[in-house]
Structure 1
Amino acid sequence: MTRSQICLFAFQICDERGISHCFSNNKASKDWLYGFMRRNNDIVENLSYGRLMRFNKEIVGAHFELLGKTLDKMNLHNQPPLIYNVDDTGLQSAYNCSQLVLVEKGFKRVHAATHGEKR
């Protein structure tokens, strides 16, 4: 579900069940959505299209094969302090992310993917 769909769905549930709310424009606000996501930390935002396409068995296997060859070539197998892990969190390669999809953590398939890597 997109953020907009979740906000609309929250409004509909409250409206159908007679639950009092302060939503306007027939949907929950962004503040409500952020609070909802904080309370439900098993929901995460979608995987970008580029990352989705790069994460397959062949590409990951080729990466680890190249890593193994590099470790052999540079004789680093027995020197763990010289091996570093780098996380790309916070590095943006694209700024255009038109629609985010929220999914449960650990969910194997995302039914919508973005073209930009915002998160």
Structure 2
Amino acid sequence: MNYGLTYEQVRVMVYDYARILPSCKYPKNWNTHKKAGVDWLYGFMRRNRTLSLRKPESTSLARGLGFNRNRVNEFFNNYKNVLEKHKFTPERIFNLDETGVITVLNPPKVIATKGKKQIGLIASAERGELVTVVGIINATGTALPPVYIFPRVRNIEEYLERSPALSAAFGNKSGWMAGELFVKTLEHCKTYKMQQRK
């Protein structure tokens, strides 16, 4: 449901639940802090090895609300209708996903003197720029050359040095995918498939 519980929230929830259960015995010190103890939490995590503390990925409210039974059923019904109408074969069914990559990576932790307030690590720049990488794969598992969207509007092709053969590069001031670039990405797919047929 995209509303995970922190350790603290689990402890409070368990205490609240334990209080309303008839004849539930729990340590008296839970009443002092209004939550279950840390020892209970660690014991619970040991008993339930399928659970672990994970860092969640931020998900917008719109995306969370849009992922429900009705929407998923609607998607698969549309998908089934399109497949039956056009008789697409697996090599003509593509999945496309984009991700933003920052050109300067987060520095790793380093050993330094205790108490020192500022520790530097040389990087190519202090702040990186966003480059969008678009991965494309078809239902047979064949990957197409990627599409890169650079935060530039001129001389984009220069940035393709050492990239996979037949990769495409487009420019946008923000480095994000935009409507017209999505159309160009679809054209990239079509061009690649035509080259494969030759």
**TM-score (normalised: structure 2):** 0.24
Query: Which structure has the larger Rg?
Result: 2
**TM-score (normalised: structure 1):** 0.39
Q: Greater strand percent: which structure?
A: 2
Higher relative contact order (CA 8 A, sep 6+): 1
